[in-house]
Structure 1
Amino acid sequence: MTDTNTRATTVETRTIDVVPDAERHGRPLNQFTLWFGANTQITAVVDGALAVVFGADALWAIIGLAIGNILGGIVMALHSAQGPRLGLPQMISSRAQFGVLGAVVPLVMVILMYLGFAATGSVLAGQAISHFLHIDSVSVGIVIFAVLTAVVTLIGYRMIHLLGRIATVVGVLAFAYLTIRLFVAYDAADVLSVHGFDIATFLLAVSLGAGWQLTFGPYVADYSRYLPRDTSPKKTFWATLAGSVLGSQWSMTIGALVAAIAGDAFLGDQVGYFGELAGPAWAAMIIYLVIVIGKLTVNTLNAYGGFMGVLTTTTSFTGRSSVSARVRTVYILGFVAISMIIALAASDNFLSNFKNFVLLLLMVFTPWSAINLVDYYLISKERIDIPALYDRRGRYGAWNWYALSTYTIAVLIQIPFLAQTMYTGPITRMIGGVDISWILGLVVAAALYYPPARHHNRAPAATVYPTTSPLSEASSVPDSEHVAHDHATAGGPSSRRVPD
């Protein structure tokens, strides 16, 4: 039997094509470790700190963050459950709702999201590397981190999951140590006493938690698509939900406590503060290393999802379902290089910009999530014509105008309800600064999309898989609505309709 670590270092060959049954592997537990490891990291700590920095009481901030993480985590985990069923990256499957070319519209924002999170994460990881190596230049740390990100992303899926397991173990140990140190070094219990409740800052905390989870939605299925097709959707859902919510809530709770206790000491240098909190120099060095491992885990997800997003966009116009290893490498290196350049030029006003960035993403991704989930679970009932996802002349067409119209309306209707540094909507001012825009976007998108989608249901009678090798062009499949043969070769499934 092949050793796990040896297999983990095998370079991935799949991109946006269907993962054949012969290549499926893993267990739902892998989703828990990946998402727990990806969330026990310093950017999640900063996200939790934002709620207190912008006015929330620590205890109410922690409660609000928990509510937001659970609500957003449910939506995110529902996307994850699609992976084993379809064997596809998330944004390829969204062509079933928006059309082959129409899916590019929300995908542009997805790519910008990946770049934004990769850049902000690189700044914090660069600081940790500079502390670890005792160098004054954060820029050197950012460049080193970019190289590490590129290497792991190039190796691909197995290495990413291995890194997630490592990040889970070291994250639990390091965060347990930091939590204990926090209560030993400070009177942390005192800041948990209720000093007052403010609805606006409480809902900001909810939004920060929900926004954090919802931004995983466009790529969460990318990391569950290799699971065997008969994997229980419920097990995938619960493993993803538990890992992501527990990891992020722990990180954000530490962030809220630290912001309430340390104030400016934390705001001025988030990474350096944790080194000081760790105590002895050897402990600080370990914490810096753990910060890098945690950031590397999630930054690799961003780089992997980013290149997949760009690839999904370009292949919408070419009709291809895969690319060569050389092209894959160019896409990954290009994405990492751009995110590194953004990180090197990042503004010093990190916390405020990051808060606005997260809330802006919340505005554009909640309608997309609502449309995708309503269609997949309530309209199509998990039945997808996969070859048609690569053919603009197929079942789903090039553009789905009622989906795009719904998406546009749901984004625009949130503007009067926004509460950001650069803009506060008129209705938000009337209700005391409470930002409920994302809730409105979720509800409006689902309500507007369901009636026309139900009337124009384009789902097949059963899921359709490609009849040719997933590495071929989708245009080679003239009719995706037929019943194909059973497995023709050991190299992958000859594709067929799979009854519900």
Structure 2
Amino acid sequence: MTLPHASSGPVAAFDGRMPSAPGDWRIEARGIAPVPESHRYGGPGRLFTVWFAPNLTMTGVFTGTVGVALGLDFATALAAVVLGTVIGAIPTAYLGTWGSRTGAGQLPLARLAFGRAVVLPGVLQWLSSIAWDALIGLFGGDALARLCGWPFWLGVLVMMAAQGALGVLGYEAIHRLQKTMTAVLALAFAALAWRLADTGAGGLAHGSVHGADRAGVFVLTGTIALSLALSWAPYASDFSRYLPRETSPVRMFWCTLLGVVVSFTAVQTLGLWGAAVFTDQTAHGVDTLLGGGAPGALGLLAVALAALCSNAMNDYSGSLALQTVGVRIPRPLAAALAALAGFPLVLWMHAADTATRFQNVLLFVGYWIPGFVAIVVVDWLARRRERSGRPVDLAAEPPRPAWPAVSAFALSFAAAVPFMDTGLYVGPLAAALHGADLAYYVAFLAAALVYGPVRLRRRPVRG
């Protein structure tokens, strides 16, 4: 396998300046070229904060309201949220351990399995990063507009510009900001929870669905929670690629897992509890809940900052995805482009039924990820067996033919279609299962079952 590593010729856009130590806020020009071991620094503890802060957004809160809106009681909806979040976070935590071993981002590493066909998941990842910009920017832009007395579109535009600037600064700036915002946003969301309790606006829903319908809604709620946590999987090693090779993979795994699970569970629980307040106009709900004035302004500022933290990571990983597909533009420029592209999608979601469009984008943006995860994990495990315990050396890894991965990827998505449940399409098997969306699980299993036997019996292709 060959990844760009030289700062000359056609790969110059992929190389460039790297952060040198914690607190180095200068622009990171480094693109998809692996980070050499001489430039690695930091410890696994920073993975907790980088995966905790970006999930404390109103997107997570609004997603938490879905279980109650679909008719579940509080306890059942909470169980679905916790189960789905844990299942979705495990692949993200595992893939994140690859960064320190290789110095490479997640989509560049997918070239190991997909070869030249990495353009397929690369394009999907780039589009997904734009979609997530919109899903999160919807609430952040609304909060900023309400805070400053601006029209909605201007709040979104300023939000996108700010997050794009942070994505341009890159890896270290994102890590440092997330460390600070972990404490700030945790306090802000704790204040929201306190106000819900103090005002009595929160409550434990009793549920309105029963029997098979209740089971179907439970699965759908869990799948939506899973989609949030799993959406970080194609980004995972992007934010660990500067860690030293000797960093403990076990500690990396647990720091990432806890960061994702604790944060997502907390905000979705808040959404379940305050479902009556956190409707389509979530930012307005925050302002109202805090009583307006200075407390309301601080709440809106926290919502905007939360969106900034999360979307900066979308733009950063989007820039690496765009380079992975072969677009030779500098990483900072690619990050700015991702932020700009999310703007019209936010306006589209805001223009009509926000709840329906939000759920549709949320589910569709992630249906490709389980198949991708299964393929890259199978390939990674096969290569580890072939190396017989030797450290990973990307330059020495033999390339693979593209067709097994592409075939498994396409077949896994096709197998999942009948199990999908969105506002735009409900598969026949999802309908028969009373709305239970099993598409994520089916896609993962199908990809593993199709790709695994092919990958394990074929010899590496040399040259």
Fold shared, TM-score > 0.5 on shorter chain: yes
Partner of 1:336: 339
Q: CA 1:250/1:130 → structure 2, altered by over 3 Å: closer, same or farther?
A: same
Is the Cα contact below 8 Å between 1:57 and 1:196 reproduced in 2? no
- CA drift of 1:151 comes to 1.5
SS of match in other structure, 1:102: helix
Q: Establish whether residue 403 from structure 1 lines up as the match of residue 419 from structure 2.
A: no
State yes or no: 1:358 paired with 2:358.
no
The Cα shift of 1:249 comes to 0.7
Cα offset, 1:365, TM superposition: 0.8
Q: Quote the residue 2:283 is aligned against.
A: 271
Identity over the aligned pairs, expressed in percent? 26
Match of 2:224 in 1: 208
Shift of 1:91: 0.5
The alpha-carbon deviation at position 292 of structure 1 amounts to 1.3
What is the alpha-carbon distance in structure 1 between the residues aligned to residue 358 and residue 460 of structure 2?
Answer: 39
Native 8 Å contact 2:52 2:259 kept in 1: yes
Residue 469 of structure 1: aligned partner: none
CA shift, 1:430, in A, is 2.2
Question: Is residue 458 of structure 2 the alignment partner of residue 443 of structure 1?
Answer: no
Judging changes above 3 Å, is the alpha-carbon distance between structure 1 residues 341 and 188 closer, same or farther for their aligned structure 2 residues?
A: closer
**Mapped pair 1:130 → 2:145:** yes
Q: Distance in 1 between matches of 2:250 and 2:59?
A: 29
CA offsets per residue over residues 414-459 of structure 1, 9 Å max, x none? 1111112222112222222222121111112112211111112539
Matches within 5 A, 1:90-239: 90-99=106-115, 101-135=116-150, 137-186=151-200, 188=202, 190-191=204-205, 198-239=214-255
Tell me the distance in 2 between the aligned counterparts of 1:77 and 1:329. Answer: 26
Give the Cα–Cα distance (whole angstroms) in 1 for the partners of residues 294 and 248 of structure 2.
44
SS in 1 for 2:117: coil
Rounded Cα–Cα distance in structure 1 between residues aligned with 2:345 and 2:292: 34
Give the SS at the match of 2:233: coil
Matched, 1:418 2:420: yes
Distance 1:439 1:145 in 2: 35
3-state SS, counterpart of residue 41 of structure 2: coil
> Quick one: which amino acid aligns to residue 34 of structure 1?
V
Query: What does residue 286 of structure 1 align with?
Result: 298
Change (3 A) 1:8 1:284: farther
> Structure 1 pair 274/5, CA: closer, same or farther in 2 (3 Å)?
farther
TM-score (structure 2 length as normaliser): 0.89
Establish whether residue 306 from structure 1 lines up as the match of residue 318 from structure 2.
yes
Q: Is the CA contact 1:380–1:459 (under 8 Å) kept in the aligned structure 2?
A: no
Query: Quick check: 1:118–1:339 contact (8 Å CA) kept in 2?
Result: yes
The answer as to whether partners of 2:359 and 2:423 remain within 8 angstroms in 1 is no
Shift of 1:369: 0.6
Q: Which amino acid aligns with 1:82?
A: W
Find the aligned partners of 1:68 and 1:224 in 2 and give their Cα distance: 24
Alpha carbons 1:44, 1:252 under 8 Å: kept: yes
- Asked whether 1:82 is paired with 2:98, we answer yes
Q: Does the Cα contact within 8 Å between 2:280 and 2:354 map onto a contact in 1?
A: no
TM-score norm. by structure 1 comes to 0.82
Q: Say how many residue pairs are matched.
A: 438
Does the 8 Å CA contact 2:238/2:317 hold for their aligned counterparts? yes
What code does the residue aligned with 1:215 have? Answer: S
Give me the whole-angstrom Cα distance separating, in 1, the residues matched to 2:186 and 2:22: 25
Cα deviation per residue 1:147-193 (whole Å; 9 max; x = unaligned)? 21121111111110111112211111011111111112116454368
Give the secondary-structure state (helix, strand or coil) at the position aligned to 1:413. helix
1:122 deviates by 1.9
Q: Which residue of 2 aligns with 1:487?
A: none
For 1:363, what is the secondary structure of its paired residue? coil
Instruction: Provide Cα deviations, 1:336-369, integer angstroms capped at 9, x if missing partner.
Output: 2221233234433222112122222332111111
Whether the 8 Å CA contact 1:379–1:457 is kept in 2: the answer is no
Shift in alpha-carbon separation, 1:53–1:110, aligned structure 2, 3 A = same
